[in-house]
Structure 1
Amino acid sequence: MVREIKVKSLLNKHKKRDSCFLDDYTLNPYAGCSMGCIYCYTRGSKYGARQTPENVTNMDVALKADAASILKRQLKNRLRRGERGFIVLGSAAEAYPNVENDLKVTREILGLIKRFKFPVHVCTRSKLVLRDLDLLRAVNETAVLPDDLDYLEHGVFISFSFSTLDEGLARLLEPGAPSPQERLETMKKCSVAGFKVGVINMPVLPFLSDSDESLEAMVKSAKEHGASYVMFAALTLFGNGPEDCRTLYYKFLEDNYPELIPEYQKLFRNSSYPSNTYQKDLSRRAKKVSDKYNIKTRIL
């Protein structure tokens, strides 16, 4: 039995559209996430606190009760105000956790998005997105885009998240997620089906997946599997609690790469973010390799 939590809102409107993900709205049918990624920014950050009511832990998946009826009301209200925009599905918790295979709540939500003709950007690690390509195709064909994006040819984008292509490293960091190769193959199937797809290489892991060779392997693999964009961002480490990502990530380093701990301490110091110098260098190198393969570093 999946635990249910009560929420007042499912559709969260942003003051300003995110230029990378294109989201005017975010939507997470579930709280918590079965993927179990130890670096997840929702562990210990203010964003996670907002998305996981009633102290739902990251691995403890809970269904937001009456999700479809709440969303239906909210979409109607947004249409009355003329506030169309892209909905990012799965911004803070996987929209296709294991329980979705039986519950089909995300599928019901996509049906509502289709009915009200909103465009959608699905962010996922799951192979289960293939189940819903029929609905996503209908959304893609019927979505009414916001006025300033009406030149786009797509009402659906599907992005797949990665931190590394190394299968062994991924098993340690993302224990509940499909392997990187499975994600690439799923993305390829979505591309072949006619969808615009891409990679979210977030986070790039300092000293583990941030070398020039690793960045090139990510971009090359993305291109070969149908991606038209690869978005990069450095690792962030939040919180000091036992389940927060800073704590869990340093434990991962202690168990597997103890020699890197001093390097991380130097890179992050007292911040949740690596140094500005590191972030600018990562961005420069990511742009260079993306240009080499003629692939964008954002959707638009």
Structure 2
Amino acid sequence: MDCSLPMTFDTYNKCSYNCLYCFSYFQKSHSLGRGGVRSGKHNYQGVTTPTTWVNPEVIKRLFALDPKMSKSMQQFYPYIIKRNTMQWGGLADQFDEYERKHGITLELLKVFRSLKYPLCFSTKAVWWTKDKRYTDLFKKQDNWNTKFSIINLDKYMSRKIEKGVPSPQARLEAMKTVAGLNKGGVTLRLRPFIIGLSDKHDEYLKLIAEAKNHGATAVSTEFFCLELRADERLRGRYNEMSEAIGVDIFKYYRLNSKGSAGYLRLNRDIKRPYIVKMYNLCKALGLRFYVSDAHFKEYCHNGSCCGLPESFNYNRGQFTNALMIAKAKGEVRYSDIKTEVLELFDFPFIKAAGFNTSTTVNRARRDNQKMTDYVREAWNNPKSKKSPYKYFGGVLIPTGLDENKDVVYKYVGEKV
């Protein structure tokens, strides 16, 4: 509910890279437009799964608003009609080694270029920036923004943590290439920020400066979160990370997170010095700064924490944008975001494509509820962890109800 890019797309059902921190490890890709074709098997850290990819013909039908598409896919029609920016690269990398082999992303790029559809890419790959077939399609596509994920500058540490991924230096050079192809902008995606790795010798600050030198226009960051419910294999990856960076991440996160179970996020006090330094450096360098972390989202330049500028047509019917309104005006009302919520999320909650609808009991309780009702309910229940009050860590506080009986939130966060 805080996302400016809720329509997320993956070309392949898995990623060829083997980053130890990957939050989507062992998860299936659940992006729109599936219906892929099997192409052999790949052994992924002991897990054998078939490689599948989206069918370009299905994507053409989707963006042509074919009335015969499934109801779940038609949920995206209002988004497509409004030409809201689509995030490409959520649980996989659309330019990875699978793409080098199969070329499905290349076919899809041709489709989206013909439609002049606004896109936001997220990648670690570099080979495609040296391939004329790809770079020609990016030329003059001023509504295509590209994020390059880099979390430190040490190529030796990178090899240990981001296995199979090109070096940080190679990614910076790729960033420079893409920056020269169009005016859509390139973003340094400093995510996840891993204490003990990203901050070693203040490398995160040097990385930001290098990104600026290589054409970046923005920086987006988020701190690593740890899943305590990890199975044996995922715990093995965490142990490998701990050994590489010299920090017992299980112990560190237990000591410095507000919760004690499940998905652990570091507390605000731990993160504050890093956020402030990054914000001040970006301001000095003329870079837009964004925080995808629930904590310190108030430091975002505007309401798209992925780094898109205000000029892009991203979804504004969400809580991050509400936070930006409150920061500017002192308070925010549900009516400030209601219009776009109603336009984009007018479908049954239990049928929400790619959304975690929780338990069977929860789905039964919400059987007659629309997604719009779910968003409004979260807004109006400050005790809920999904509310603007709880989610943003208390920088928005409820002050009463408006004429529509919706909660009014006051901004009490830092003056940034």
* TM-score bracket, shorter-length normalisation: 0.7 to 0.9
Kindly indicate whether residue 155 of structure 2 is the aligned counterpart of residue 133 of structure 1: no
Cα displacement (A) at 1:61: 7.7
Question: Would you say the 8 A contact 1:215–1:289 is kept in 2?
Answer: no
Cα displacement (A) at 1:128: 2.9
Q: Distance in 1 between matches of 2:137 and 2:250?
A: 46
SS in 1 for 2:189: strand
Tell me which moved more, 265-274 or 58-67.
58-67
Cα displacement (A) at 1:57: 8.1
1:210 to 199, 221, 226: 199
Name the structure 2 match of 1:275.
Answer: 267
Identity over aligned pairs, percent: 21
Tell me: CA distance 1:234–1:58, structure 2 relative to 1, closer, same or farther (3 Å). farther
Cα displacement (A) at 1:74: 1.1
SS in 2 for 1:64: coil
SS in 2 for 1:215: helix
Cα displacement (A) at 1:242: 3.0
Kindly indicate whether residue 18 of structure 2 is the aligned counterpart of residue 36 of structure 1: yes
Name the structure 2 match of 1:166.
Answer: 154
RMSD: 3.0
Question: How big is each residue's C-alpha offset from its partner over 1:40-85, in whole Å with a ceiling of 9 and x where there is no partner?
Answer: 11126xxx4553999x986678543452122111111138972311
Kindly indicate whether residue 232 of structure 2 is the aligned counterpart of residue 242 of structure 1: yes
Kindly indicate whether residue 8 of structure 2 is the aligned counterpart of residue 26 of structure 1: yes
Name the structure 2 match of 1:227.
Answer: 216
SS in 1 for 2:266: coil
Name the structure 2 match of 1:71.
Answer: 59
* AA matched with 1:224: N
Tell me: CA distance 1:251–1:65, structure 2 relative to 1, closer, same or farther (3 Å). closer
* AA matched with 2:268: N
Q: Distance in 1 between matches of 2:199 and 2:28?
A: 29
* AA matched with 1:73: R
Q: Under a length normalisation based on structure 1, what TM-score does the superposition of the two structures give?
A: 0.77
Q: Distance in 2 between matches of 1:61 and 1:89?
A: 22
Name the structure 1 match of 2:30.
Answer: 51
Q: Distance in 1 between matches of 2:231 and 2:44?
A: 13
Q: Distance in 1 between matches of 2:194 and 2:247?
A: 15
Name the structure 2 match of 1:95.
Answer: 94
Cα displacement (A) at 1:168: 1.1
Question: Would you say the 8 A contact 1:31–1:61 is kept in 2?
Answer: no
Runs of 4+ residues over 4 Å off in structure 1: 56-63, 258-261
Question: Would you say the 8 A contact 1:33–1:58 is kept in 2?
Answer: no
Q: Distance in 2 between matches of 1:178 and 1:49?
A: 24
Q: Distance in 2 between matches of 1:217 and 1:183?
A: 15
Higher relative contact order (CA 8 A, sep 6+): 1
Kindly indicate whether residue 284 of structure 2 is the aligned counterpart of residue 299 of structure 1: no
Q: Under a length normalisation based on structure 2, what TM-score does the superposition of the two structures give?
A: 0.57
Q: Distance in 1 between matches of 2:152 and 2:29?
A: 27
Q: Distance in 2 between matches of 1:79 and 1:200?
A: 28
Question: Would you say the 8 A contact 1:32–1:62 is kept in 2?
Answer: no
* AA matched with 1:162: I
1:288 to 275, 280, 286: 280
Tell me which moved more, 252-261 or 127-136.
252-261
Q: Distance in 2 between matches of 1:260 and 1:235?
A: 10
SS in 1 for 2:87: strand
Question: Would you say the 8 A contact 2:94–2:105 is kept in 1?
Answer: yes
Q: Distance in 2 between matches of 1:108 and 1:169?
A: 35
Q: Distance in 2 between matches of 1:288 and 1:110?
A: 36
Q: Distance in 1 between matches of 2:248 and 2:103?
A: 45
Tell me which moved more, 106-115 or 80-89.
80-89
1:156 to 131, 144, 151: 144
Gaps of 5+ in 2: 66-76, 290-306, 310-416
Cα displacement (A) at 1:263: 3.1
Cα displacement (A) at 1:29: 0.8
Q: How does 1:256-267 map to 2 (within 5 A)?
A: 257=246, 262-267=251-256
Gaps of 5+ in 1: 1-15, 141-153
